[in-house]
Amino acid sequence: MAARKAVENRENDILNAAIKIFSERGYNAARTCDIAKEAGVSEGTVFRYFKNKDELLHKVMIKLIEILGNKLITKRLTKIIKDNREKGEREVLKQILKDRIELFETHEDIFKVVITEIQYNKELRDTFVKNIIMKGKDVISIFIEEGIASDIFREIDVAIVIRSFIGMVSMYIIQNKVFPEIIQIDKEKQLDEMVDLILYGIKK
């Protein structure tokens, strides 16, 4: 029993070290020798637990998605809604938008690797949907449904609202990373106008 626990602890140490190195350097620049050093083990020990760097990445992504889903999606979104509810739905939506963008910017390297990998790996994709997409959807759905029940929001398919919301965040990130020269507006003004579009559309 103690031996199995030691094995699990060592595997977790390697996974945590890999998360740190992948986050700091990106997947391509990360070396298994650096991960081993961070974990306090030899490089040979890393390969006793993981066949190669790709398998290590796969296990890291599974663990990271589970951590992100609970800590950064469910708890963080719930706190934003709770802390800003008295300020009104506009401020809640603005803070959610702002938080999702800052979350990507903070963990950009990891998210880029995850987005690439989920296109080709079904297990990883299923984990991502369960722990990131569905958990975020559940929290925001409650907020929108409460707004509909309180006659603040009109009757609308919640899934479409969330899809539009995700699309806005995604395009904001792509625009600022790939085409920053297209829209020369400061971040706060962009967020305000995005919230206006969510709440009121483009009709005058």
8 and 98 part of one domain: no
94 and 148 part of one domain: yes
Rounded mean pLDDT, 179-196: 80
Give the domain CATH number at 154.
1.10.357
Structure confidence at residue 8 (pLDDT): 66
Pull the structure tokens for residue 157. 């398919």
30 and 125 part of one domain: no
For residue range 13-46, what is the model confidence (pLDDT) as tens digits? 998 888 888 777 777 788 899 999 999 999 999 9
Give the domain CATH number at 32.
1.10.10.60
Q: What angle do CA 56, 57, 62 make, to 5 degrees?
A: 100
59 and 138 part of one domain: yes
100 and 131 part of one domain: yes
39 and 131 part of one domain: no
143 and 68 part of one domain: yes
For residue range 125-178, what is the model confidence (pLDDT) as tens digits? 888 888 888 888 888 899 999 999 999 999 988 888 888 888 888 888 888 777
Range of the domain at 27: 1-50
151 class by beta-carbon count within 10 Å (0-12 exposed, 13-18 middle, 19+ buried): exposed
**Count of the separate structural domains present in the chain:** 2
99 and 116 part of one domain: yes
For residue range 44-60, what is the model confidence (pLDDT) as tens digits? 999 999 888 888 877 87
State how far the Cα of 72 lies from the Cα of 68, in Å rounded to an integer: 5
97 and 143 part of one domain: yes
Say yes or no to pLDDT of 2 above 50: no
64 and 162 part of one domain: yes
Pull the structure tokens for residue 23. 């986050």
For residue range 81-134, what is the model confidence (pLDDT) as tens digits? 999 989 999 999 999 999 888 888 877 766 777 777 788 778 888 888 888 888
